[in-house]
Amino acid sequence: MDTATQLADDSTVIQRVLDHVDNKTTDLADATWREPIEHYRSPGRYDAELDLVLRRRPVGFCPSAALPDPGSFVAREVAGTPVLAVRGRDGIVRAFQNACSHRGAEVACDATGAAKAFMCPYHGWTYDLDGSLRGLPHKDGFPDFKKADGGLPPLWTLEHGGVVFVSQQTPTRELIAEIEALPELIPQKFAFVKVTEHDVAANWKISVESFLEGYHIRSTHPDTFYPIQFDNVNVIEQFGRNNRVTFPYRNIEQLRDTDPADRHADGYLTYAYQLFPNVIVATQPGRMSMIILEPRAIDLTRQVAYTLSDHYHGRDDADAVLEKEDSFAEAGAEQDRAAVTSIQRNLASNPREYFEFGLFEGAIGHFHRQLSAVIDERVTSA
C-alpha cells in the first residue's frame, strides 16, 4: 500500500491554488492511467470488487452525526447485505446484519430513525439496541430455540473522525490502523439534517470518478458550479489508499492580501475526501455531505447522501436556507448523474480497450491503482 501522507493545511492549499491561478496550471500526476473498459462491464470483476473490497474490508457506512443519541439508527445495504447501525444505551455504535433471526426479514425498514427496540414487522420478534433478542411471540412454539443465540448477526464496527466504519469480516490490524490514521473528517459541530437516495444507471466506479477531477467543471456545469468555481484548477493529495481533491471557488482571490496564518478554507473551496473505495466526504460553506456510491448491480449505483450542517438548527429560516442550498447542489449533482449514465449507455458497444485518464485526473488513477492492488493481493493470497 502507498505510504500515508500528511494532508496540507488550509493556508498551504490556498497558496497552491493561488499559484495555479497565476500560472494557469493545476496539479498533475506523474503519469496518465489506462483502465481496461472490461473492468466496468465484466461480471467477474464486479463480483470480485464486491467480495474482496467492499465485504472483506472496512467501509464508511454513515456519519456519526446520523446517530446522535441512544436508539438512533441508520439502515442501508453494503455490497448487497442489509446493514443496521445503532447507537446503544452505553453510547457505543454497533452494526448488525439487518435480518431477523427467525425468517430473515429486515427489522429496521427506514433509512434513519430512532427506536427503543427493533420489532420485526413479519412475526414481531423484538431485538434490543445491543442486537440481543428481547422476545418472540408464542415462544412455546419454538421449544428447541435458544433465545441467547437468536440475536442479530453482529458486524465489526469502528467510529472514528466523525464516520462510522463497518466490515462484514473482522479486519486485520493493518486495516484497522489505516482507519485510525485518518484525520478528523466531520467535526462534531456538524449536525445531521437528512439523507437522500438516487439510483444512478451506471457502474459504481464511474460514479466515483465523477467526484475526483475538476477537468469537467466548465463543460458539465456551465450554469451551476462553473460560475463560482475554476475550470481544471485542483490541488490533489493522496493519503494511504484515499484521495483529497480541492475544488477552489473564484472568491479565493480575496485571500491574496490576507495573512497566510489567517487563511481558512470555509467559503473559499470544497474539499472532496474520497475514502477508499466508494465514500466521498465533501465540505461546502457551512455544511458537509457524506456520499456513499453503493453498487446495486454492475450497471446500477445507489447514491446515498447524508447532509450535515452547523447552521440550520435553531434558525427560524432553516427550511428556506436548506431548500436554497439543496436546489443549487442538486442541480449540479443531476448534471454529473447525466454524464455518468451517458458513459454507461456506451459501455457495451465501446470498441476501445481502455479509458485514458490524463495528468489532470491523477486522483482517478490512484483510485484504480489501489482497487487493482487490493484485488490482486486477495487473489494472490487465496
Query: What are the structural domain ranges in the chain?
Result: 10-56+189-381, 59-170
Q: What is the pLDDT of residue 2?
A: 47
- Residue 350 three-state SS: coil
- Compute how many other C-beta atoms are within 10 angstroms of the C-beta atom of residue 107: 28
Calpha distance 206→332 (Å, rounded): 16
**Domain 59-170 homologous superfamily, CATH:** Rieske [2Fe-2S] iron-sulphur domain (2.102.10.10)
> What are the two backbone dihedrals, phi and then psi, of residue 281, each rounded to the nearest 5 degrees?
-110, 115
Contact 311, 304 (CB under 8 A): no
Q: What is the pLDDT of residue 318?
A: 73
pTM of the model: 0.95
Contact 244, 274 (CB under 8 A): yes
Q: What is the pLDDT of residue 338?
A: 97
Instruction: With CA atoms as reference, report the closest residue to 352 among 109, 39, 138, 106.
Output: 39
Q: What torsion, rounded to 10 degrees, do the Cα atoms 68, 159, 7, 304 define?
A: -60
Q: What is the pLDDT of residue 3?
A: 42
Angle at 173 between CA 170 and CA 177, to 5 degrees: 115
Q: What is the pLDDT of residue 379?
A: 66
> What are the two backbone dihedrals, phi and then psi, of residue 158, each rounded to the nearest 5 degrees?
-145, 130
Give how far Cα 207 sits from Cα of 28, 203, 204, 246, 351, Å: 22, 7, 5, 18, 21
Angle at 180 between CA 178 and CA 181, to 5 degrees: 65
Calpha distance 231→366 (Å, rounded): 21
Calpha distance 109→355 (Å, rounded): 39
Q: Which three cell numbers stand for residue 308?
A: 450535515
Helix (H) or strand (E) holding 154: strand 154-160
DSSP string, 5-24: -PPPPHHHHHHHHHHHHHHT
Q: Which three cell numbers stand for residue 243?
A: 484521495
Helix (H) or strand (E) holding 82: strand 81-87
Contact 261, 11 (CB under 8 A): yes
Q: What is the pLDDT along the chain (382 residues), one digit of tens a residue?
A: 444 468 999 999 999 999 999 999 999 999 999 999 999 999 999 999 999 999 999 999 999 999 999 999 999 999 999 999 999 999 999 999 999 999 999 999 999 999 999 999 999 999 999 999 999 999 999 999 989 989 999 999 999 999 999 999 999 999 999 999 999 999 999 999 999 999 999 999 999 999 999 999 999 999 999 999 999 999 999 999 999 999 999 999 999 999 999 999 999 999 999 999 999 999 998 889 999 999 999 999 999 999 999 877 766 777 777 777 778 888 999 999 999 999 999 999 999 999 999 999 999 999 999 999 999 986 666 5
CATH of 10-56+189-381, one of 1.10.150.240, 3.40.1440.60, 3.90.380.10, 3.40.50.170: 3.90.380.10
Tell me whether strands 118-119 and 126-127 are parallel, antiparallel or unpaired. Answer: antiparallel
Question: Quick check: do 10-56+189-381 and 59-170 share a fold?
Answer: no
Q: Kindly give, in sequence order, each residue whose CB lies less than 8 Å from that of residue 179, ignoring residues fewer than 6 positions away.
A: 58, 158, 160, 165
Positive or negative torsion for Cα 204, 301, 166, 82? negative
Is the link from the previous residue into 222 a cis peptide, with omega within 30 of 0? no
